Amino acid sequence: MSAELSPKLSPARLQVMWNRLLAVVEEQGQTLIRAAFSPIVRECGDISAGIFDVNGRMLAQAVTGTPGHINTMAEAVLHLRERFSVQDMKPGDIYMTNDPWLASGHLNDFLLMMPAFKDGKVVGFTSCTSHLVDLGGLGMGPEGSDIYDEGLLIPPCKLVEEGTPNALLMDIIRANSREPIANEGDIYALIACCEAGVNRLVAMMDEFGIDDLDTLGCYVIDTSRKGALEAIAEVPEGVYKNVLRMDGYENELELHATLTVTKDGMHVDFTGTSGCSKKGINVPLNYATAYTVFALRCIVGPDIPNNAGSLEPFTVDGPKGCILNAQRPVPVAMRHTLGQVTPDLVLGCLHQALPDQVPAEGASCMFDLPMRHAPEVAANGGREFAIEPVHNGGTGARPHADGLSATAYPSGVFGSQVEITESVAPVVMWRRELLPDSGGAGKYRGGLGQRIEMTSSNNAPFIVFLSVERLKFPALGRMGGQPGAPGRIRFRDGNDDIPGKGELRVEGDDYLIFDTPGGGGFGDPSERDPKALALDLKRGLVTEAGAKAYGDTSS
């Protein structure tokens, strides 16, 4: 029965149910955050949560979460839906995988899917993803030579059978981690997230008197697809190209994108992009697609909810074997390093079509700093730990506003708090402050990076796995705006800067300093409002020396 013919399912009633779906998935996501053990989940929000129809089409996603998890989840549920027969599913079953090419791009992300039953039949699915801090192998760093170096790969399987977790699988996960308790707790949090979604979904269906999601799902998807196509129609048709130069690992890299805009959709092609690295900075296409499409949707129809319908007109491809379409079994642990700069790459294309709507480039890649104890510490009975603090640089200036300082775009994760880091790892964070002059000058200033200074708190050495970008090639400005400051890593007593990728040993008496990159400026710096510049000077965001980039400031 169509929505137009049924008084019970009028467009107004369907819209109310759609809004309820959005509330359900947000509660689902908050359940995961509240129950999680690891700081990167409970403090930083490195998650996703969603509701899907019986065919595996995403109907709603939680606002809390990262595009790398949300948009990959939209495809991953389809994979699991095809792998496992609906006829064999039972209430309480939960399926999972961390396969990078099926889930969200690297082993440390667990993706779960749970069928929702009503009156004895499957009516839809809930799904969620979160980051687990350690899965063995060489650890959360770029040093692996293939996927097998990087930890425990779990193919699609049944994690929970009729409400009972798979004890052997849980034993295997614990046995292959340096943080077994945190991992176990996070897995139970993921399970609770799925269960909360199922319970709330079925309760909603009971409340509205519907037995399936067919009509509601079609309404959500058709309405969203129509809205996305209308938004795309406002972008001038054409072919737009952009190239980004990136630091890379063994050598510098080029990322190429060709954006083709038609009335029927937007397609991005990565042809021309550098080939894969021998190290773990390679990006599976599912992850590169997730962030590429997210960036386009930030500009094109940003008010349209994210679901299968609004995602459908946006497609991405690239030659197999390029670093943005990495093929098995290359290492991919730090796939976010380059995957999170694809928004800058594709927005450089879109800027040519919509020059007054696209922000300047930003730091983009998270300055996450996975750390763990040095090998000899464990051998000598010292404190063992594994943690992944997340820090961010500045975003690019917007066409009508300054960039945001020390803010995660495009990942959206919250920066790790000093107190939390110090409570779970033997380190002292001596300084964490905004870095003056790091935002690119412009009519609108780029967001500032930050300075982080840290040491060991117990004089024991520890290991930091570095995989960050924009130490060589800073974020560029637009429309005459200047680039942001590049990032920098060094020891206070050292003479040389430390490369942005690799395994770094920090001795007990070392004093480590990280400067995260700033965002690019937008527009001619001489056109900046003198009052805005004066306020920057007063707040210490721009120094007297830095103010010279804006021209004559004597007035």
pTM of the model: 0.95
Q: Indicate if the pLDDT at residue 45 is higher than 90.
A: no
Tens of pLDDT, residues 109-164:
999 999 999 999 999 999 999 999 899 999 889 999 999 999 999 999 999 999 99
pLDDT of residue 380: 81
Tens of pLDDT, residues 200-209:
999 999 999 9
Q: Where are the strands (E) in 263-419, listed by range? A: 265-269, 314-317, 371-373, 386-387
Tokens of 265: 């959709």
Q: What is the DSSP letter of 366?
A: -
Instruction: Identify the H or E element spanning 463.
Output: strand 462-467
Tens of pLDDT, residues 280-329:
999 999 999 999 999 999 999 999 999 999 999 999 999 999 999 999 99
Domain with CATH 3.30.450 in the chain: 7-226
Backbone φ, ψ for residue 182 (5° rounding): -60, -40
Tell me the CA distances in angstroms from 151 to 137, 235, 237, 329, one per residue in order: 4, 44, 45, 13
Tokens of 221: 């998807």
Determine the Cα–Cα distance for residues 289 and 331; give it in Å rounded to an integer: 18
Is 139 in contact with 465 (CB distance < 8 Å)?
A: yes
Tens of pLDDT, residues 258-273:
999 999 999 999 999 9
Cα first-last separation, the chain: 70
- 426 pLDDT band, cuts 50/70/90, is very high
Is 428 in contact with 452 (CB distance < 8 Å)?
A: no
Determine the Cα–Cα distance for residues 192 and 244; give it in Å rounded to an integer: 41
Topology of the domain comprising 7-226: Beta-Lactamase (3.30.450)
State mean pLDDT over 191-213: 96
CA angle 294, 295, 296 (to 5 degrees): 95
Residue 71, by phi and psi: left (phi above 0), alpha (psi -120 to 50) or beta?
A: alpha
Determine the Cα–Cα distance for residues 273 and 98; give it in Å rounded to an integer: 26
Tokens of 153: 């790969």
pLDDT of residue 307: 95
Nearest CA to 437 among 530, 536, 526?
A: 536
